Chains A and B, each alone.
Chain A
Amino acid sequence: MLASSPRLRATLLRVAQSIPVVIGVVIISFLLTRALPGDPAVYFAGVAADTASIEQTRVAMGLDKPLVQQFFIYVGNLLQGDLGQSLSSGRSVAADLAKRLPASLELTLSALILAIVIAVPLGVLAATRPGTWVDHLCRVVVTAGVSLPTFFTGILLIYIFYYLLGIAPSPLGRLDFIYLDPDHVTGFYLIDAALMGDWETWRGAAKQLILPATTLALFTLAPIARMTRAAMLTALSSDFIRTARAAGLSNRTILYRYAFRNALLPVVTTLGMVFSFALGANVLVEKVFAWPGIGSYAVEALVVSDYAAVQGFVLAMALLFVALNLVIDLLYTAIDPRIGFSSK
């Protein structure tokens, strides 16, 4: 108990540290959207509006009040879970996000899992056999992954697998129209369909997911594979590997129990970064595959100065990043016993 308490304290401290970050995020997302060019009141009053009706819209939207007061109204609404009305879709932003965020997350997470499953073993193999064909393959994949933009690989994959070979379904959204959407539980179609036991729909959703997820995975694979290889090489040349070898431990134990666990730290860091890249790269992939995700939603909202929607998007993304960083840091504490003692 005594031994675990500093770690527990470090963990709690880390969780507490994200609270001010969240507050900061709320303030910044509010200010950023106010700083957008264009006057939403003019836009939403319509083309035929005169000065009086613009002013009326402005009052109706609460934009005539001082900024500080607007902020407190915003925070008050936020606390009740009200992110405002999207003026372009006409629905509440919260409902829109709840529908679209899982779509993006499902895509990003499957891509990331796919990338990890391929990149980590590839990196490990490349590190243990430097100079062999695996190492060269790793290098080729890494170079291709970083140099091919996602919209290009996306279109290329559609061309090959949908147009030429015809084995992929048409790249239009999350589910072909012949299927019904599964009941909304998590918003992840694969999980929801599995929960319902509707494997027909599950297969349909998976088919739609494969191409965009592969596109995104190809992009995220490169940094993961490269970092795994580098971290493994460093770990394998450490003194404790020599000790383990001198003690006669088997190669497998040395590789996994000694080298790989130590190499995990930088890999986890990279995963965090890659996840945020992937969320950014999503926008293009969503556009190419007509994926009803949060990225395309935000771009559309931005174009029409739909500030409640933009604000909701920025907030959701920022919270996602905060949560992600928290998870990464907590993973660190789980992997590395030194954390919590050395850092304050």
Chain B
Amino acid sequence: MSKMLSVKDLAVSFQTRRGEVDAVRGISFEVAKGEILGIVGESGSGKSVTSYALMRILDAGGVIKAGEATYSGIDLRRAAEHDMRDIRGREISMIFQNPRAALNPICKVGHQIEDVLRHHARATRYDARAKAIAALEAVKINDAEARYDAYPFELSGGMCQRIVCAIALACDPRLLIADEPTTGLDITTQKAVMDLVRDLIRERGMSSILITHDLGLAAQYCDRILVMKDGVIVEQGDPVQIFSDPQHPYSRKLVDATPRAGETVRSLLPPQERGEELTPTVSDQPILEVRDLTKTYAGKSGPVHAVKGISFMINQGQCVGLVGESGCGKSTTSEILVRLMDATSGQIIFDGHDIARVPARSFAKDSRRADIQMVFQDATDSLNPRHTARQTISEPLRRLARMRGAKLAVRIEELAVLVGLPLPLLDRFPHQLSGGQKARVGIARAIALDPKFLILDEPTAALDVSIQAVVLNLLVDLRAKLGLSYLFVSHDFHVVRLLCDHVIVMKDGEIVEQGAAEQVMSNPQSDYTNALLAAAPKPPQRRNIS
């Protein structure tokens, strides 16, 4: 196979106020014709910066410091800017994460495709519309004619990503760089988008670089994988080989931390960090029972039934997984259960009393407020940026337990130890903490008042896999130590399988299936559960190293 792109000793650095920061430190790799190369790494590994450097679209202050990058004989580092503009979009193009933000919000999607076509002289004013519609059809958008006039905000996330693909592929580039193309998309949408991208690449004989933090996804779609850490490539090779026999300790850690079938939550951690597994005590006494819960919003075009009469039960000490795609009503349900929102009808029996009768507005003054707490999805957005970790954790203790002074300080440190947050970090602000540390602060705040029931709303969705592994283990330990019951809201079946005893699958506001976790996973009864399971990336099985 001939080389299409070859990168040699590429180094990229950024000028910042605190001096020069090296983002990429001398990496070399090649992309062959027709090959799909995966670059896997966690945040800050330099994987996205590498791709921006190849396209020469680094943010202000970023420069290629050393090395060579050659694309079919063209020196990408030294090419004139106007030659680069011809290369971008026509030879090499990119698709991005967060597709909705990647599109101009006030411009019709059809016009955005036309801009690219006309810039690269692939269309004239007269046939641009027809060609843009053809580009939309190429990415399998139904009713392309009508979608041409749509604005990004009128389309779903998956649809927006297809538009971004259409823009990227409109001028038949030879190399497609996909930078986390499915982050933030639902699992079935992820599969649809990835399958589409793979098929288009194969059909047109293109090469591709897939940049992702998800080793499982990369393994499924790539011919070869590079693992990056701190700006260097630590390992490269065939996906199956990396999965079954990782050579570098970091890739081993990544492989371990990737949730998949046949693992336990402890085996996500590196072997030396695996503590003794604690067994939670599950009683058959229900702590929470939901009966016929409904929620109807007044929408613009009539009422929107977000939750349509669901019933389920959570026993003391149990961890119940609530799985579904965006819009299925899982967030509405958790918000109602945590009493931040009122249900339209239905009962929530908590500890023998119907708490749905207490309006959400006055639940803060209810004595049971302390018993039901929540860990939020985005660890960064759910912390007050002007409060230190200590202030954040003290908030519920001050307000609800009226704790003050020395007693408060002791309790905060006790909680920090419990969630594994180093004590010196307590006086830091959120922006001075890492993602994992912020997640710990959020958990400490939620368990500060010794709640009985905790709602975990995708607590690890925004975290790197190795941090996710640590946080999941922390949650498992806390459950056993404190005798908590969890409702674990997630879209990731693999994670749910690791943590939960019981699974509820929701779709369009209804429960389509519920049952013991293993049973639902291995023998799903509904087509929808089946589709969800099938869409989850399936990393190769690990060779058993005993």
- A-side residues, CB < 8 A to B, are 3, 130, 237-240, 242-250, 253, 257-258, 261-262, 335-338, 341-342
Q: Does B103 contact A (CB under 8 A)?
A: yes
* CB proximity of A273 to chain B, nearest CB, Å: 22
| Cross-chain contact A249 with B115 (CB below 8 angstroms) | yes
C-alpha gap A248/B172 in the complex (Å): 13
* CB proximity of B304 to chain A, nearest CB, Å: 15
In the complex, which residues of chain B have a beta carbon less than 8 angstroms from the beta carbon of A239? 96, 98, 101-102
Contact string against A for B residues 87-102, beta-carbon threshold 8 Å, 1 for contact and 0 otherwise: 1111001101010011
Interface residues of B in 50-65 (CB under 8 A from A): 55, 57, 59-60
In the complex, which residues of chain B have a beta carbon less than 8 angstroms from the beta carbon of A3? 149
In the complex, which residues of chain B have a beta carbon less than 8 angstroms from the beta carbon of A242? 57, 96, 102
Q: Does B116 contact A (CB under 8 A)?
A: yes
Residue on B nearest A241 in the bound complex, by CB? B104
* Most B Cβ at <10 Å: residue of A3, A244, A336: A244
| Cross-chain contact B106 with A262 (CB below 8 angstroms) | yes
Interface residues of B in 67-116 (CB under 8 A from A): 84-90, 93-94, 96, 98, 101-107, 115-116
The 8 Å CB contact of B55, one of A130, A246, A258, A337, is A246
Residue on A nearest B103 in the bound complex, by CB? A240
In the complex, which residues of chain B have a beta carbon less than 8 angstroms from the beta carbon of A240? 101-105
In the complex, which residues of chain A have a beta carbon less than 8 angstroms from the beta carbon of B116? 247-249
| Cross-chain contact B87 with A248 (CB below 8 angstroms) | yes
C-alpha gap A105/B89 in the complex (Å): 49
In the complex, which residues of chain B have a beta carbon less than 8 angstroms from the beta carbon of A258? 104, 107
| Cross-chain contact B94 with A246 (CB below 8 angstroms) | yes
* Most B Cβ at <10 Å: residue of A238, A247, A338, A341: A247
C-alpha gap A257/B115 in the complex (Å): 10
In the complex, which residues of chain A have a beta carbon less than 8 angstroms from the beta carbon of B85? 248-250
Interface residues of B in 275-293 (CB under 8 A from A): none
* CB proximity of A315 to chain B, nearest CB, Å: 37
A248-B106 contact in complex given A239-B96, A338-B153, A341-B153, C-beta closer than 8 Å: no
C-alpha gap A245/B87 in the complex (Å): 11
Residue on B nearest A243 in the bound complex, by CB? B102
* CB proximity of A295 to chain B, nearest CB, Å: 37
C-alpha gap A245/B85 in the complex (Å): 8
Q: Does B151 contact A (CB under 8 A)?
A: yes
Additional pairs, 14, CB under 8 Å, beyond known A240-B103, A258-B107: A243-B104, A244-B115, A246-B57, A246-B88, A246-B94, A246-B96, A247-B88, A247-B89, A248-B90, A249-B89, A249-B119, A257-B115, A341-B153, A341-B154
Q: List 30 A-B contacts (CB under 8 A).
A: A3-B149, A237-B59, A239-B101, A240-B101, A240-B105, A242-B96, A242-B102, A243-B96, A246-B55, A246-B93, A246-B96, A246-B168, A247-B93, A247-B119, A248-B87, A248-B88, A248-B93, A248-B116, A248-B120, A249-B89, A249-B115, A249-B116, A250-B85, A250-B119, A253-B115, A258-B107, A336-B106, A341-B153, A341-B154, A342-B153
User: How many residue pairs, one in A and one in B, have C-beta atoms under 8 Å apart?
Assistant: 87
In the complex, which residues of chain B have a beta carbon less than 8 angstroms from the beta carbon of A261? 106-107
In the complex, which residues of chain A have a beta carbon less than 8 angstroms from the beta carbon of B89? 246-249
In the complex, which residues of chain A have a beta carbon less than 8 angstroms from the beta carbon of B168? 246-247
Residue on A nearest B146 in the bound complex, by CB? A3
C-alpha gap A243/B107 in the complex (Å): 13
In the complex, which residues of chain A have a beta carbon less than 8 angstroms from the beta carbon of B254? none
Contact string against A for B residues 137-153, beta-carbon threshold 8 Å, 1 for contact and 0 otherwise: 00000000000010101
In the complex, which residues of chain B have a beta carbon less than 8 angstroms from the beta carbon of A245? 55, 57, 88
| Cross-chain contact B167 with A243 (CB below 8 angstroms) | yes
C-alpha gap A14/B90 in the complex (Å): 45
C-alpha gap A262/B151 in the complex (Å): 14
- B-side residues, CB < 8 A to A, are 55, 57, 59-60, 84-90, 93-94, 96, 98, 101-107, 115-116, 119-120, 149, 151, 153-154, 164, 167-168
In the complex, which residues of chain A have a beta carbon less than 8 angstroms from the beta carbon of B120? 248
In the complex, which residues of chain B have a beta carbon less than 8 angstroms from the beta carbon of A257? 104, 107, 115
C-alpha gap A240/B107 in the complex (Å): 11
In the complex, which residues of chain B have a beta carbon less than 8 angstroms from the beta carbon of A249? 85, 89, 115-116, 119
3 tightest A-B CB contacts, nearest first: A248-B89, A248-B88, A239-B101
C-alpha gap A258/B101 in the complex (Å): 13
In the complex, which residues of chain A have a beta carbon less than 8 angstroms from the beta carbon of B57? 242, 245-246
In the complex, which residues of chain B have a beta carbon less than 8 angstroms from the beta carbon of A338? 105-106, 151, 153
In the complex, which residues of chain B have a beta carbon less than 8 angstroms from the beta carbon of A243? 94, 96, 102-104, 164, 167
In the complex, which residues of chain B have a beta carbon less than 8 angstroms from the beta carbon of A262? 104-106
Residue on B nearest A130 in the bound complex, by CB? B60
* Most B Cβ at <10 Å: residue of A239, A240, A248, A335: A248
* CB proximity of B287 to chain A, nearest CB, Å: 39
In the complex, which residues of chain B have a beta carbon less than 8 angstroms from the beta carbon of A246? 55, 57, 88-89, 93-94, 96, 168
The 8 Å CB contact of B119, one of A130, A253, A341, A342, is A253
In the complex, which residues of chain B have a beta carbon less than 8 angstroms from the beta carbon of A247? 88-89, 93, 115-116, 119, 167-168
The 8 Å CB contact of B106, one of A244, A250, A337, A342, is A337
In the complex, which residues of chain B have a beta carbon less than 8 angstroms from the beta carbon of A237? 59
* CB proximity of B49 to chain A, nearest CB, Å: 13
* CB proximity of B191 to chain A, nearest CB, Å: 23
Residue on B nearest A261 in the bound complex, by CB? B106
C-alpha gap A262/B152 in the complex (Å): 14
C-alpha gap A319/B103 in the complex (Å): 39
C-alpha gap A244/B116 in the complex (Å): 8
Residue on A nearest B119 in the bound complex, by CB? A249
In the complex, which residues of chain A have a beta carbon less than 8 angstroms from the beta carbon of B60? 130
* CB proximity of B213 to chain A, nearest CB, Å: 18
C-alpha gap A239/B151 in the complex (Å): 16
C-alpha gap A335/B107 in the complex (Å): 10
C-alpha gap A130/B61 in the complex (Å): 12
C-alpha gap A18/B116 in the complex (Å): 42
Residue on B nearest A335 in the bound complex, by CB? B106
C-alpha gap A65/B104 in the complex (Å): 62
C-alpha gap A248/B106 in the complex (Å): 20
Residue on B nearest A262 in the bound complex, by CB? B106
C-alpha gap A271/B116 in the complex (Å): 33
* Most A Cβ at <10 Å: residue of B57, B59, B98: B57
In the complex, which residues of chain B have a beta carbon less than 8 angstroms from the beta carbon of A248? 84-90, 93, 116, 119-120
C-alpha gap A341/B151 in the complex (Å): 12
Residue on A nearest B88 in the bound complex, by CB? A248
In the complex, which residues of chain A have a beta carbon less than 8 angstroms from the beta carbon of B93? 246-248
C-alpha gap A337/B153 in the complex (Å): 9
* Most B Cβ at <10 Å: residue of A3, A258, A335, A337: A337
In the complex, which residues of chain A have a beta carbon less than 8 angstroms from the beta carbon of B119? 247-250, 253
| Cross-chain contact A244 with B55 (CB below 8 angstroms) | no
In the complex, which residues of chain A have a beta carbon less than 8 angstroms from the beta carbon of B103? 240, 243
